[in-house]
Amino acid sequence: MSTGFTSTVDTPIGPFTAVVATDGAVLASGWTASTDDLLPQVATALRPSTLTPRRDLGAVTRAVRDYHAGALDAIADVPVRQRSGAFVEHAWTALRAVPAGKPVSYADYALLAGRPSAVRAAAAACARNAATLFVPCHRVIRSGGAIGNFRWGVDVKRWLLGHEDRG
């Protein structure tokens, strides 16, 4: 039986909830007040069987607050734990290197992930990302600059991109 901790923080674009492992690594996160929206995205091997609510998750809560207040690099050093196939895990790591305010196209993201012809696989990696914000899938947009889809809604993605562009 594994235990995870969860906390929800108010942000300018709605409640943000994180689920973390006992060592503080983010397992799932997003703009929702419900862990039911997050847990299905966590790999079965990592999914906690018990969740304990906490008022504050330490470095994770600080990073969420600081990021939304304008410290865009606050999320960079927060540990994340996700599991999938080798390409998807590598793609998530590559995504963490995309700087705030410098969104990339899905084609550029596939190139960063080491497989330029794997645009659909790169898009699928974004869609399967459980640790939203800490693995900044919102920084991937369509060729030509269109926003594209986002699990938490196009308005949230637009806000995040604008927030980072101003930062």
Which positions ≥6 away from 11 have C-beta within 8 Å? Answer: 31, 64, 68
**Which element (helix H / strand E) includes 26?**
strand 26-30
Q: How deeply is 21 buried, as exposed, middle or buried, from its count of CB atoms within 10 A (0-12, 13-18, 19+)?
A: middle
Annotated catalytic residue, options 137, 140, 156, 160: 137
Q: In DSSP terms, which residues pair with 78 in a beta bridge?
A: none
Question: b/e map of 98-121 (b: 16 or more CB within 10 Å)?
Answer: bebeebbbbbbbbbbbeeeebbeb
126 labelled catalytic:
no
**Best CA proximity match to 56, nearest among 4, 6, 11, 131:** 6
State the Cα–Cα distance between residues 25 and 83, nearest whole angstrom.
13
- Looking at the annotation, which residues are catalytic? 137
